[in-house]
Every structure is written in C-alpha cells, then in structure tokens.
A and B are shown apart, each in its own frame.
Chain A
Amino acid sequence: MSEKQGVLGIFSYVDVTIDTVKKLKEAGFNNLRVFSPVPNHEIEEVMDVPESPVRFFTLFGAMLGAACGVGFTVLMSTDWPISVSAKPIVSLPPFMVIIFELTILMGALSTLLGLLINSRIRNNAPRTMYDTRFSVDKFGVMITCSKDGVEGAQDILNSQGAEEIKVDGI
C-alpha cells in the first residue's frame, strides 16, 4: 500500500463544503479535490486552480484544421487542375468553405481530446474515494496526505459536520 492516504468527507450543503475546503487549506492541506453533482463557481474559486489548458488544444486544433483546409484545397487542386470557365485553379473564395469546415471539425475534435487528456490526468481519485451519491445530491471533499496527516484531516471534517468519512490508501 502506498504511503499516501486519501480522506474523504461527504456533505449535503455546498456552503459547508466550501467552508471545509477553506479550513483544510488554512491547516496546510493543499492536495484537495471536491466532488459535486453540478459545476459550481464558488467551488472553483475556493479551489483556486489554474485556468483549464483545454483552450490551447482548441486553438491548436482549429489552427491545424485551417492549415489542413488550405493544404487540401490548394495542393489537390494544383495536382489535378480542373479549369472551369477560365476561373483560377487556386481560387480562395470557394476554398474558404472547406477551410472553415475543417477549422471547426479539427478544433472540436482537439477540444474533445483536450478534455479527455486533462480530465484523465488529474482525475486519479481511486474508486474507494468516490461515492455514488456525488452524482445525485451530495458533495465530497477528498484530501490526499501522508499517514501523519490523516488524523488532522479527519478532525477538520468532523468539526465541519461531515456526514460520513472514509479513509483509504491511494
């Protein structure tokens, strides 16, 4: 079993959950994770996590899509030139449609990739530290700490009125 321990407190109210996070941070517990059935800005604020890097995936994917759009249309048109009504072989106005669609397509797919990669990397909470009520109406605060810190974390969770506390090695 790992040296690291997970301590999970389950709550019914979001304000109590946020208070608990504040108290845990004051006590020096910084490796925290909050579970909730809905996204909540107050939780986001109190957790003070950096901005999601998903936006870089989106930007990169969209730019790559636009570049692919230009590449496809220009290279393929010059490789097999079809002269229609003496119009230029490389004609940007009609190509813009393809470039636009590929920008959207690759931007969206890379956003999906960004979401999956980032969520999986940070989402390393073990199954034992998850409660199925989090997808219904309960909130959870999970503390990852050394064995020495477990008691302190439990004390804070108890003092905040946690409805249930789970401890497990992670």
Chain B
Amino acid sequence: MSQQNTLTYARVNDDVIRMLDKPTFKWWALFLPTLLFVGIGAFCFIYQVQYGLGVAGYRHPVFWGVYITDFVFWVGIAHSGTLISAVLFLFRANFRMSIYRIAEGMTVFAVLTAGLFPIIHLGRPWNFYWLFPYPNQRELWVNFKSPLLWDVFAVSTYLTVSSVFFFIGMIPDIAAIRDRVTETPRKIIYSILSLGWKGSNWEWLHYTRAYLFFAAFATPLVLSVHSVVSWDFAMSNLPGWHTTIFAPYFVAGAIFSGLGMVITLTVPIRKIFHLEDYITMDNYDGMAKLILVTSGIVGYAYGVEFFMAWYSGVPAEWYQFYYRATGEYALFYWIMIVCNVIIPLPLWFKSMRSNIVVLFIISIFINIGMWFERFNIIVISLSRGFDPAAWGIYQPTWVEIGITVGSFAWFFMFFLIFLKTLPSVSIAEMKEILPVPKKEAKT
C-alpha cells in the first residue's frame, strides 16, 4: 500500500470527484460507438420480433443457443462484483476498497444486460411478465418446480439486492459530491440521491450495520444465483448437463469470468483517470491470485466432467465429452481450455501478477474463454443428445451476433455513463484504509 501513503482525505475527494468533470473527447469517442452498436442490437431484436425466432439459428435439436449463452455469460460477469463488494467485505480484505465500486457497478449493469436475454429468447417477448406469479384471468399460476422459474426469482432478486447494495454504498460519496458541486441541476440531483446524508454518528451507526447485513445477504445470494442458473441445465436429463458438479462449477466460473472483466475494465480506467495511487498493484495481485484459484477450480471441473463421463459407463455421456473435444465444435472447446486453464498459468509468478499489460491481456482471454465455456455447455450438449437420429448442428445467424455485440455495447454504455455521473471509487471506504487524522500523531 506504499503508493497510498501520499493520499489524504481531501485528496481522495478531489481525485474521485474530478472524474465526474465534463466528458472529454476520449469519453465521447468511446460512448458514441456504444450507442451505434446498441442501435444495431436493437435493430436485430426488432427484426426478430417482426419475423419471429426463425431468424435466429435455432434448428432441431438446438433451441438454446447464443442468447442463453449470453445470459449465462452476463450473469457470470455480475458475480465477481458481489464477491468483491460483499464476500471480501466480510473477510475484511482491504484490497477490495479501491475496486469494489467499479465491480459493483459492473454487477448491476451485467445483470441488467443478462436480464434482456431470456426476454429476447422468448417467441413472444411482450408476454414476459407471465413468468411472474400474479392473479390473472387465465386463472393459473406459475410452475414453482421449474428451474426456469427459480431463475426468474433468483435473477430478479439479484438485480434488486445488488442495485440496493450498490446505491447504499454510494450514499456518503454522493453526499460528498453534493457538497462539492455548484451547478444547480447537479446539486439538486445529488441532493436527492444523497437522501440528506450528513455523516452524523447516528447515520454511520445504522449505515454500517445495514451494510454488514446487506453483505451477509449478498454472499449466499451470489452463490445461489449461479447455482440456480446451473440448475437450468443440470435438472435436465441430457448428457453433458445432468451432473451434480454444475453448481460449484458455475459459481467458480462466474467469479473467474467476473474477475477477468474487472481487470479488463479497471486497467484503462486506472490509466485514463490517473488512479495509480488508488488501484494499486497490490489490488491486482489479490485479484490475480483469485483468478488462479478459480481457474484451477474450473480446470478441475473440466477434468472431472470427462472422468465422470468415462467412469459412469453411460455411452451417451462419454460420447458427449469425446465429441466436445474432437467433433465439429472442437475448436471452441480448445479455445475454452487454452483461455481458461493454460493462459492464466503465468499468474503463478509474482513478476507476471505485477505486470499490468500481462494482466490485461490475460483478462481479455478469460472473457473470451468463459463465453465459449457457456457456448460449449449449452450448444454442444443439445446438439448431441441420447438419440443419434436427433443430432444436429447449430450455427448462430447475423441476428444473434448483432444482438450479442449490442449487449456488450449496452453494458459499456451504462458503464461509461456511470463513470461520469457517480463516484467510481468509494470515497468513504478509501478513507477508511488511510491513517485517521490525529493530533497526537502530529505532535
């Protein structure tokens, strides 16, 4: 934390609030293309609504394709935000302080993105609210035994709780911005958002307790959400899906991919906003170690899947995995193995963990590898079921690719707006790891 020795309470306010200055040319240069790609994604979706799901590449027997891959990918990305903000908070890991706000923002925007995909995937998306249990003229209720309904509850709970957690964490910082800004419209907006926060001992008392409870709720929630997502598959009797390791395998994979995305996002932000004193190499070292752990777990899961398929003696199960590694989709399988298991290995060395360029490159590969992991699980399993007469090949169409690209743009659009409107580094929590100003220490 040596770099943080030069920080003072006042400087933390200055540096973080300075990030909210008028958007620069660089910001617009990033933001406008995201709008363009969001527009392309929206066009593809409207086209699909107009002509029906046939414009997606769904062909018998693969009726879950890129959209569900994207859904699982984005829910996974969301997870490390909660890990960093809640789990590491409970473990009192100080290296989370400077990055947790960015990670939390990432969580909220990733869940917002993920939530689009089950709706996009619906044949009649305008009826999406049928998923919720409400009294209706059809006089029927939802099926609580379906994992898909569990998903509705899990993901909507996750979005609500992570948004509340995100907002609550920002209240003292928004008050700091309110106290600094002078332009009337901004002052009014930040005053409303700060909920009248004054930093009194009463407020801190309730705030710190509430924050602890939020963290305590968010921790089992984050484990449950991706477990539930994994059960969308594991509850089905399909080779490659019907396995008990899916829940821990998915949770570890989610944290792994999320950490990759946190590094992908924070490296340029750190450089552009000169946050080297805040997001230190110690922070990256901690994240790199977590990446190593989770990479090891997913690597182990890939191996166990193969072993169990062979050991089970079920021909369809064994063929599924043999096909993954050698069939038409083998390239995607090996991309997954290389990106998720091999490429993170240099992080065992301290010199690699301290090299920001290496970390950034590895994080990009992790994002790619984890997208393909979901694609492999979903598409390859469906394309090679029990009955060889029902096998088939799926290829995504331009509509699906357009919507996928649009989803990345949608995520980055929210993220860029966040960078310019809300504090990306927690002012109050950064101060907590700085020495408390004491007269005794001065004299």
A-side residues, CB < 8 A to B, are 12-16, 33-40, 43-44, 47, 49, 52, 54-55, 58, 72-73, 76-77, 79-80, 82, 84, 87, 91, 94-95, 97-98, 100-102, 104-105, 107-109, 111-112, 114-116, 118-120, 122-123, 125, 130, 132-137, 142
Q: Which of A12, A44, A49, A94 sits near B437, CB closer than 8 Å?
A: A12
B217 at the interface (CB under 8 A from A): yes
**Which residues does chain B contribute within 8 Å of A15, judged by CB atoms?**
438-440
B201 at the interface (CB under 8 A from A): yes
From B117-125, B192-200, B310-318, give the one contacting chain A. Answer: B192-200
The 6 closest A-B pairs by CB, nearest first: A137-B9, A132-B179, A76-B141, A122-B202, A135-B176, A115-B210
- The contact sample of 20 A-B pairs, CB cut-off 8 A, is A12-B439, A13-B438, A14-B437, A15-B439, A33-B201, A34-B200, A35-B199, A38-B436, A43-B204, A54-B213, A97-B224, A101-B157, A101-B224, A102-B157, A104-B161, A112-B164, A112-B210, A123-B198, A123-B203, A137-B13
Q: Which residue of A lies closest to B196 (CB)?
A: A123
**Which residues does chain A contribute within 8 Å of B440, judged by CB atoms?**
13, 15
B10 at the interface (CB under 8 A from A): yes
Taking a contact as CB atoms under 8 Å apart, the answer to whether A33 and B214 are in contact is no
Cα of A142 to Cα of B203 in the assembled complex, Å: 14
Cα of A137 to Cα of B438 in the assembled complex, Å: 12
Q: Which of B201, B204, B439 sits near A13, CB closer than 8 Å?
A: B439
**Which residues does chain B contribute within 8 Å of A37, judged by CB atoms?**
9, 172, 176, 199, 428, 431
Q: Which of B133, B153, B438 sits near A97, CB closer than 8 Å?
A: B153
- Scoring B residues 200 to 224 as 1 if CB is less than 8 Å from chain A, else 0, what string do you get? 1111111111100110011011001
Q: Which of B140, B202, B204 sits near A80, CB closer than 8 Å?
A: B140
Cα of A14 to Cα of B436 in the assembled complex, Å: 7
Taking a contact as CB atoms under 8 Å apart, the answer to whether A137 and B10 are in contact is yes
CB distance from B101 to the nearest CB of A (A): 15
B154 at the interface (CB under 8 A from A): yes
Taking a contact as CB atoms under 8 Å apart, the answer to whether A80 and B141 are in contact is yes
**Which residues does chain B contribute within 8 Å of A14, judged by CB atoms?**
436-438
Is chain A's binding surface mostly helix, strand, loop or mixed? helix
Q: Given A76-B144, A101-B154, A122-B202, A16 and B221 touching (CB < 8 A)?
A: no
Taking a contact as CB atoms under 8 Å apart, the answer to whether A136 and B9 are in contact is yes
Q: Given A40-B436, A94-B145, A108-B217, A136 and B201 touching (CB < 8 A)?
A: no
Cα of A77 to Cα of B144 in the assembled complex, Å: 7
CB distance from B26 to the nearest CB of A (A): 28
Taking a contact as CB atoms under 8 Å apart, the answer to whether B164 and A104 are in contact is no
Q: Which residue of B lies closest to A94 (CB)?
A: B145
Q: Which residue of B lies closest to A15 (CB)?
A: B438
Within 8 A of A (CB), among B417-435: 428, 431-432
Taking a contact as CB atoms under 8 Å apart, the answer to whether A115 and B207 are in contact is yes
Taking a contact as CB atoms under 8 Å apart, the answer to whether B202 and A94 are in contact is no
Q: Which residue of B lies closest to A50 (CB)?
A: B205
Q: Which of B133, B168, B195 sits near A76, CB closer than 8 Å?
A: B133
Cα of A120 to Cα of B142 in the assembled complex, Å: 39
Q: Which residue of A lies closest to B13 (CB)?
A: A136
Taking a contact as CB atoms under 8 Å apart, the answer to whether B207 and A105 are in contact is no
**Which residues does chain B contribute within 8 Å of A122, judged by CB atoms?**
200, 202-203, 206
**Which residues does chain A contribute within 8 Å of B218, judged by CB atoms?**
108
Q: Which of B220, B437, B439 sits near A104, CB closer than 8 Å?
A: B220
Taking a contact as CB atoms under 8 Å apart, the answer to whether B206 and A104 are in contact is no
CB distance from B147 to the nearest CB of A (A): 8
Taking a contact as CB atoms under 8 Å apart, the answer to whether B13 and A135 are in contact is yes
Cα of A107 to Cα of B165 in the assembled complex, Å: 12
**Which residues does chain A contribute within 8 Å of B145, judged by CB atoms?**
82, 84, 87, 91, 94-95
Additional 17 contacts, C-beta under 8 A, given A112-B210, A123-B200, A133-B179: A33-B202, A36-B204, A38-B432, A52-B210, A76-B133, A76-B142, A77-B141, A79-B141, A101-B224, A102-B157, A108-B214, A111-B213, A116-B195, A119-B202, A119-B206, A136-B9, A136-B176
**Which residues does chain B contribute within 8 Å of A95, judged by CB atoms?**
144-145
Q: Which of A12, A79, A118, A134 sits near B198, CB closer than 8 Å?
A: A134
Taking a contact as CB atoms under 8 Å apart, the answer to whether A47 and B201 are in contact is yes
Cα of A118 to Cα of B221 in the assembled complex, Å: 25
**Which residues does chain B contribute within 8 Å of A52, judged by CB atoms?**
205-206, 209-210
Taking a contact as CB atoms under 8 Å apart, the answer to whether B217 and A112 are in contact is no
Q: Which residue of A lies closest to B227 (CB)?
A: A97
**Which residues does chain A contribute within 8 Å of B8, judged by CB atoms?**
137
Cα of A33 to Cα of B201 in the assembled complex, Å: 6
**Which residues does chain B contribute within 8 Å of A104, judged by CB atoms?**
157, 161, 217, 220-221, 224
Taking a contact as CB atoms under 8 Å apart, the answer to whether B198 and A130 are in contact is yes
CB distance from A48 to the nearest CB of B (A): 10
**Which residues does chain A contribute within 8 Å of B437, judged by CB atoms?**
12-14, 137
Q: Given A38-B428, A52-B206, A136-B9, A108 and B144 touching (CB < 8 A)?
A: no
Q: Which of B207, B209, B228, B431 sits near A55, CB closer than 8 Å?
A: B209
Cα of A12 to Cα of B150 in the assembled complex, Å: 52
Q: Which of A36, A73, A112 sits near B201, CB closer than 8 Å?
A: A36
CB distance from A148 to the nearest CB of B (A): 24
Taking a contact as CB atoms under 8 Å apart, the answer to whether A134 and B199 are in contact is yes
Taking a contact as CB atoms under 8 Å apart, the answer to whether B150 and A98 are in contact is yes
**Which residues does chain B contribute within 8 Å of A119, judged by CB atoms?**
195, 202-203, 206-207
Q: Given A14-B437, A73-B144, A112-B168, A38 and B200 touching (CB < 8 A)?
A: no
